[in-house]
Amino acid sequence: MFRLALKMLLGDRAKYAMLVGGLGFATLLMMQQSAVFVGLMSWTTSHLRNIRAPIWVGDTKVEQANEVKAMRDTEVNRVRSVAGVEWAVPLFFTILQSRLTDGNFKPVMVVGLDTTTLIGRPALMLKGRLADVRLPNAVIIDDLAVQRLSIGRKKPLDVGDQFEINDKEARIVGICKAERHFFGYPYIFTTFDQARLFSPKSRKMLSLVLASPKPGLSAAKVAEAIHQETGLAAYDENRFGWATIWWYVRNTGIPVSFGTTILLGFIVGIVICGQTFYLFVVDNLRHLGALKAMGAGNLTIAAMLLVQAFTVGCIGFGFGAGLTAAFGFAVLDKGMPPFLLPWQLPVFTFVVVMLICMFAALLGILRIWKVEPAIVFRG
């Protein structure tokens, strides 16, 4: 019976195309938009993956990873003195203007690493030597900086080239790979002292303290201890990431704007699919009524409609998921717009599409359930 049910639906080319198209489009809208949203949210936590430390300590008021509230240098020692802390190092972070050859300015994110340990250093060097960053005026720039700051030059920036940060000479000793940041600015890594030389003078020049728990201790526990003893805001890496994401969810219009599009996808799906499927059932009322007359029970008919709905649901989902993946591959190289598709998203979208189909099938089932099989004798 189910095979015949499918043939009935597939035979109705127009409605079948409409159902698959509508569900595919709904899938695309929901999945692609949530992937871009997740991608964007992951950009807000790029610092955590580009700088890498088990514990992040900032000013009392710091709520998320992209917020800098300068502290006094002495806070590093206070963190070091907390029991359970294996090491703690200073980090300087600021946004400065870099002047291009053509006279334009571009903002860059300057990260000053602890000079002795270089903790917070880039994860992947593409060119040059990390240790050279300790040389006078030396910086390591990421590949985005190469792209952005080379404008107006004959050749792209390379190791050995010089450029200006806040009117001061910077010499490139290395090029690294860094994950793109929400702000969209390139990363410039240098030493703590050098970074402070690039920036305008001010009284407090410590942005963050990076720390690690003693072996065997949990980062979360030690972070809590740091907070208790110093009054500073201290997060383990994982909590800092989620705190950052939630901060953006609460304080920006991003979730609303994406949520609207995703909701739109859901509505498009439910309207097109519900209406088309209902029409399909109404068009086939005579035949479904004849099946009832011939002894097919309501449950059999309901199961047939569910099989039809779930089948178009799967095909439509596959279609939309394919388009989403194609979109993903197309933007992956460029990195714009952000796109991140953790396995939960397709699963979630699939469940939503199935719910839409279930709803559509239910509309049809309600319609056919009450039909007296005797209608087949009426003209």
Partner 1 sequence: MNGDIPSNGPANGSAPNGNGHTLAVHVRGVTKTFGKGEAAVQALKGVDFDVRQGELLMIVGPSGCGKTTLLSVIAGTLEFENGEIDVFGSSLHSLKPREVTAFRKRTVGFIFQQFNLIPTLSLVENVSVPLLINGVKRREAEERSAAMLERLGLKGREHKLPTEFSGGQQQRVAIARALVHEPRMVICDEPTSALDKDTGQQIMEQLRDIARHPERCVIVVTHDNRVFKYADRMTEMEDGRVQRVHDVAARGDRRFDTSFGVTSDG
User: Considering beta carbons, is residue 2 or 183 the nearer one to partner 1?
Assistant: 2
Cβ nearer to partner 1, comparing 3 with 334: 3
Question: To which H or E segment does residue 279 belong?
Answer: helix 254-283
Residue 321 CB, shortest distance to partner 1, in Å, is 28
Shortest separation between residue 323's beta carbon and partner 1, angstroms: 28
State the Cα–Cα distance between residues 123 and 131, nearest whole angstrom: 14
User: For residues 54 and 364, which CB has a smaller minimum distance to partner 1 in the complex?
Assistant: 364
Q: Which two tokens stand for residue 105?
A: 């300015």
* H-state helical runs in 118-161: 143-149
CB of 289 to partner 1, least distance (A): 9
The secondary structure element, H or E, covering residue 268 is helix 254-283
Tokens (6 digits) for 169: 């000479």
Our CA angle for 147, 150, 152, nearest 5°, is 135
Cβ closest to partner 1, residue 10 vs residue 325: 10
The least CB distance from residue 286 to partner 1, in Å, is 6
Residue 87 bridge partners (DSSP): 212
Of 157 and 291, which has the nearer Cβ to partner 1? 291
Smallest gap, in angstroms, from Cβ of residue 19 to partner 1? Answer: 15
- The CB-of-300 to partner 1 minimum distance in angstroms stands at 7
Q: What are phi and psi of 62, to 5 degrees?
A: -70, 125
How far is 242 from 234, CA to CA, in rounded Å? 14
Residue at token pair 């992947």: 124
User: Given the complex with partner 1, which of 245 and 371 has the nearer CB atom?
Assistant: 371
Give contact residues for partner 1 (rule: CB under 8 A). Answer: 1, 3-4, 7-8, 10-12, 284, 286-287, 290-297, 300, 372-374, 376-379
3-state DSSP percent of the chain in helix, strand and coil, to 5: 55, 20, 30
3 state SS of 83: coil
Give 214 or 286: the residue with its C-beta nearer to partner 1. 286
Q: How far is 8 from 364, CA to CA, in rounded Å?
A: 15
> CB of residue 292 vs partner 1: minimum separation in angstroms?
8
